[in-house]
Amino acid sequence: MIRFRLTELIADKAFKERRVVPLSEVADATGIHRSTLSKMANQPGANIGSEIIDKLCRYFECQPGELLIYVPTDDEGVAA
């Protein structure tokens, strides 16, 4: 399953800039609906298109591999 590291990237940005970075700010800056960002942060296996990944990589100045990781699952679909 693919897991998005959105929460971690927001925390890293907040730490570097020494301020709170709300999800609404990311939504406004990227044009991605806040509910989509919330789904990425909270719903394992969320189905997100490459256009959204592109916008987030541009915003965080990162590569796709820094935004998402592969987490192996067992036969029942539960994270190993």
pTM for the model: 0.85
73 is written with which tokens? Answer: 């699952």
Adjacent-strand bridge partners of 2: 70
Gap between the Cα atoms of 48 and 23, Å rounded: 17
Fold topology of 2-70: 434 Repressor (Amino-terminal Domain) (1.10.260)
DSSP 3-state assignment of 4? strand
Give 21-77 pLDDT, tens digit per residue: 999 999 999 999 999 999 999 988 789 999 999 999 999 999 999 999 998 887 545
Gap between the Cα atoms of 22 and 7, Å rounded: 10
pLDDT at 79 over 90: no
The more confident residue out of 80 and 47 is 47
Q: Map out the domains of the chain as residue ranges.
A: 2-70
60 is written with which tokens? Answer: 């965080």
Assess contact for 13 and 60: CB atoms under 8 A: yes
